[in-house]
């Protein structure tokens, strides 16, 4: 068991990361034009150079701020509507077609439309919300209605109070899929917000910094910003995963 975990958690990720770095290294060597494929060393150098800039931190804070606000709005609305829909099935019938249509909208056209409708500061918020809300709503709704009917029947037979059913049956049963959804949508939201910032030219944002790197043909810097986005996304997922592990003790 321990060997399996060692392979799953350490050896395989290290090998796959090593492969990626190797592909990057070989491609950079073959192409041999820093402007197109910067070398690993140049990118790492740019990465550390970014760490010394004040702008770097304010851009990250700006993007994280937008990511968390739009995520929280979508989260609160998705969980509220999923709970109401579970008890009022007509609401789900009403929402399902809307959710399907919204999910089918190409992200790029949504970004372009909201840029027309809103200002550069607020449009990423709406875009992030519109992209992650349907995913969260569908997932939360499915989790709630999938709570084991046998356990609901058992609770009713033993006359368990509604409060105890919510706290001990419903919430713990939806928690695993709830955390998994939050984990995947929070990093998706970060990516969407950055894309929206690029196109909307949002002030004090990672998106605009990336756009500037591209405009000045600073490809190594652009890659360094990409590295930052990957690290941030990974950190957000780790935070959610840690909360899940600390909360859901019975799955160990």
Partner 1 sequence: MKLTSITKRYDDNTVFDNFNLTIQDNKITCILGKSGCGKTTLLNIIAHLTDYQGKTDVENEKISYIFQNQRLLNNLTVAGNLRYVLKNCNFSSNEIEEKINDILKLVKLKENKHMYPKQLSGGMAQRVSLARAFVYPSKILLMDEPFKGLDISLKKHIIKIFQDLFNNDKKTTIFVTHDIEEALLLADRIIVLGDGGIILLDKELESRDDALISNLRRNIYKIM
CB 82 within 8 A of CB 137: yes
Q: How far is CA 127 from CA 23, 74, 193, 239, in A?
A: 34, 11, 7, 23
Among 151, 204, 212, 227, binds partner 1 (CB under 8 A): 151
Q: Choose, by CB under 8 A, the member of 1, 30, 116, 157 that binds partner 1.
A: 157
Rounded to a whole number of angstroms, the minimum distance from the CB of residue 57 to partner 1 is 40
Least gap, CB of 154 to partner 1 (angstroms): 4
**Whole-number Å distance between alpha carbons of 135 and 153:** 29
DSSP 159: T
Is 154 a binder of partner 1 (CB under 8 A)?
yes
Residue 244 as a binder of partner 1 (CB under 8 A): the answer is: no
Cα–Cα nearest to 175, from 89, 249, 77: 249
Is there binding between residue 177 and partner 1 (CB under 8 A)?
A: no
Read off the tokens for 183.
Answer: 């984990």
- 125, 135, 211: which is closest to 180 by C-alpha? 135
156 binds partner 1 (CB under 8 A): yes
Residue 250 near partner 1 by CB under 8 A: yes
Q: State yes or no: residue 246 binds partner 1 (CB under 8 A).
A: no
Among 161, 216, 217, 242, binds partner 1 (CB under 8 A): 161
For partner 1, the closer CB: 69 or 165: 165
Q: How far is CA 226 from the centre of its chain?
A: 15
**Residues within the interface to partner 1 (CB under 8 A):** 150-151, 153-161, 164, 168-169, 172-173, 175, 248, 250-251
């Amino acid at each position: 068991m321990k060997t399996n975990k060692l392979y799953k958690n350490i050896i395989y990720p290290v090998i796959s990361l090593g492969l990626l770095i190797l592909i990057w290294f070989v491609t950079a060597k073959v192409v041999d034009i820093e402007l197109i494929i910067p070398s690993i060393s140049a990118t790492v150098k740019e990465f550390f150079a970014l760490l010394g800039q004040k702008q770097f931190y304010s851009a990250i804070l700006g993007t994280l701020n937008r990511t968390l606000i739009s995520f929280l709005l979508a989260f609160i609305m998705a969980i509220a509507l999923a709970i109401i829909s579970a008890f009022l099935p007509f609401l789900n019938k009403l929402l399902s077609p809307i959710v399907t249509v919204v999910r089918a909208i190409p992200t790029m056209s949504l970004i372009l439309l909201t840029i027309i409708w809103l200002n550069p500061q607020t449009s990423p918020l709406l875009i992030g919300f519109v992209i992650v809300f349907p995913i969260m709503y569908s997932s939360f709704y499915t989790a709630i209605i999938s709570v084991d009917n046998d356990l609901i029947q058992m609770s009713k037979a033993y006359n368990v109070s509604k409060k105890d059913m919510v706290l001990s049956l419903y919430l713990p049963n939806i928690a695993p899929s709830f955390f998994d959804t939050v984990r995947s949508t929070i990093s998706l939201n970060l990516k969407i917000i950055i894309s929206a910032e690029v196109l909307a030219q949002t002030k004090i944002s990672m998106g605009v910094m990336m756009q500037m790197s591209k405009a000045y043909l600073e490809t190594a810097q652009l890659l360094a910003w990409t590295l930052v986005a990957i690290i941030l996304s990974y950190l957000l997922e780790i935070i959610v995963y840690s909360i899940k592990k600390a909360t859901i003790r019975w799955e160990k």
